[in-house]
Structure 1
Amino acid sequence: MSDKSSETSAPKPEDGTPGEVGTPAAPTVNWDDSQMRTTYANVVNAASTREEVTLFFGTNQTWNPAKAKEFDVRLEERVVLNPHAAKRLFVLMGAVLAQYEKRFGEIKLEGLQAAAAAAKANGAKN
């Protein structure tokens, strides 16, 4: 008899760990945060074209919003995404906010229903 084992084993995925035959291992993502900076935003807006979705982040500079007739917003960051990345962000933010509301309670936004109705009406016109 030879020294080789007569047992056969299933092929291993690309990372060398046991798994299903032909199933490549999920790639490892290495996050490099060495150039990351942190900013604060309490105002966000968005615009889109067929090719991209643009998010605008800024801070409200108005001291007394209840009495203000105008709001001064300092736009500080613009993030441009392709539609696929924007959709992934939409799904991710939905999950994050659902977890937040489960732990801390529902987030109520003033005027959200009116804004949603206006957006729906504008969408119907286009």
Structure 2
Amino acid sequence: MSDGKEVSTGARSDKRTSTVEWNDEAMQTTFANVVNIQGTREQIEFFFGTNRTWDANRVSPMRVDLTNRLIMTPYAAKRMHQILTGVLREYEARHGVLKVDDQ
């Protein structure tokens, strides 16, 4: 995946652009159906995992096998939030509103 995209690299009025080359040679794909997020002043941590409890009526605790931890600066997390909000807005415009448990 090496399609070049132009991005702004400056905050001044004389916006400079550069090309970003996305190198996916070492990329790995992992499935997650559970995420937990916590943060401090310096970083935001995302914990991804897979729910292994197939019988939700069991009394024992739900088992989640954690597979990945992603650590970001709060600024990078904020940018990700903005991008994800836009992507979900487009998805819902095409496919309908997603309802989650706390709605």
TM-score (norm 2): 0.81
Residue ranges of structure 1 left out of the alignment (5+ in a row): 1-21, 114-126
Choose 1 or 2 for highest CA Rg. Answer: 1
Return the match for 1:75 from 55, 66, 72: 66
The equivalent residue for 1:16 is none
SS of 1:28 mapped into structure 2: strand
Deviation at 1:88, TM superposition (A): 0.3
TM-score normalised by length of structure 1: 0.67
The higher-RCO structure (CA 8 Å, 6+ apart) is: 2
Runs of 4+ in 1 over 4 A off after TM superposition: none
Q: Output aligned runs, 1:77-116, within 5 Å.
A: 77-110=68-101, 112-113=102-103
Q: Please give the residue correspondences for 1:57-68 in structure 2 after superposition, counting only pairs within 5 Å.
A: 57-65=48-56, 67-68=57-58
More helix by share: 1
Give the fraction of aligned pairs with identical amino acids, expressed as a percent: 42
1:5-84 matches, within 5 Å, as 23=14, 25-65=16-56, 67-69=57-59, 70-84=61-75
| Alignment RMSD | 1.4
Aligned length: 90
